[in-house]
Amino acid sequence: MSAARLAALIRKRQPCVVLTGAGVSTESGIPDFRSPTGMWAHVDPLEYASLQAFRADPEKVWRFYEPRIEMLTSAEPNAAHLALAELERRDLVKAVITQNIDLLHERAGSREVVEVHGSIRTATCPECGARYTLDEVVQAQRCRECGSFLKPDVVFFGEVLPAAAIDRAYELAREAALMLVVGSTLEVYPVAELPLETLRAGGTLAIVNRGPTALDERAELRIEGSAGETLGALAAELGYA
Ligand SMILES: [Zn+2]
């Protein structure tokens, strides 16, 4: 029933831009960083994922990140990622803006992906600026040119967000006739701001999430449910599953 309503909304309100948070990847076995049972429940994020921590002791940060990167690279896209890629192929989704660093949208086949918190795709040497691919970083965490520890190109706490991605995200938010939020409680910047940008520009908001979000009252459609199940049902409703 709610998938049918979402399908109708997506057909009617184009272009549709999708905004995804951690909840889109939990069904791929990737824990939500900020949930009480998530990755940060037992560690202080500032100790491992802050710029300050990396500068003070990059080896310690890498000991924390190495198993995490391994977990991310062995995860597979789920029904939510696949449905969004299919909707993009059918011109029903213009772009996906994501907080996630796990590359699962890209691996599912999405082409227009804006990663506002960076991704694990590359790592950069903070000393000489040399850039390395994920495969290279998994092999060796030090720069081949100067020997410094590489920093994954994900946004650490205390670090500035990637300007080009943020600009593009705001542009997409303004252009969206419909912003579909999936798997985010909309509490963290910039995702908390982007739906407001869509609303200010006259667009509509739909939300798929487990649990309440900060903008539930502003949404034309609010679906309580998991990302994979709901978007899988949406794709079926549209005849693409
Ligand atoms: Zn270097």
Ion ligand 1: residue ranges with CB closer than 5 A: 125, 127-128, 130, 143, 145-146, 148
- Per residue of the chain (241 residues), what is the pLDDT tens digit? 799 999 999 999 999 999 999 999 999 999 876 555 555 556 676 777 888 999 999 999 998 888 889 999 999 999 999 999 999 999 999 999 999 999 999 999 999 999 999 999 999 999 999 999 999 999 999 999 999 999 999 998 888 899 999 999 999 999 999 999 999 999 888 889 999 999 999 999 999 999 999 999 999 999 999 999 999 999 999 998 7
Taking a C-beta distance cutoff of 8 angstroms, is the pair 119, 97 a contact? no
Task: Give distance in angstroms: CA of 155 to centre of ligand 1.
Answer: 19
Mind listing the pLDDT tens digit for each residue in 95-124? 999 999 999 999 999 999 999 999 999 999
Task: Give distance in angstroms: CA of 101 to centre of ligand 1.
Answer: 23
Residue type, 102: D
49, 197, 207, 212, 230 from 182: Cα distances, Å = 24, 17, 6, 12, 10
Residue 31 and residue 24: Cα distance in Å, rounded?
10
What φ, ψ does residue 189 adopt, rounded to 5°?
-70, 140
Task: Give distance in angstroms: CA of 73 to centre of ligand 1.
Answer: 24
**Catalytic residue set:** 117
For position 214, what pLDDT does the model report? 93
Nearest of 33, 1, 3, 32 to residue 180 by alpha carbon: 3
Taking a C-beta distance cutoff of 8 angstroms, is the pair 90, 239 a contact? no
Residue 100 φ/ψ region, left for φ over 0, alpha for ψ in the -120 to 50 degree band, beta for the rest: beta
Residue 170 and residue 191: Cα distance in Å, rounded?
10
With 0.85 as the threshold, say if the pTM is over it.
yes
Residue 40 DSSP code: G
Task: Give distance in angstroms: CA of 130 to centre of ligand 1.
Answer: 5
Task: Give distance in angstroms: CA of 182 to centre of ligand 1.
Answer: 38
Task: Give distance in angstroms: CA of 44 to centre of ligand 1.
Answer: 28
Residue 63 φ/ψ region, left for φ over 0, alpha for ψ in the -120 to 50 degree band, beta for the rest: alpha
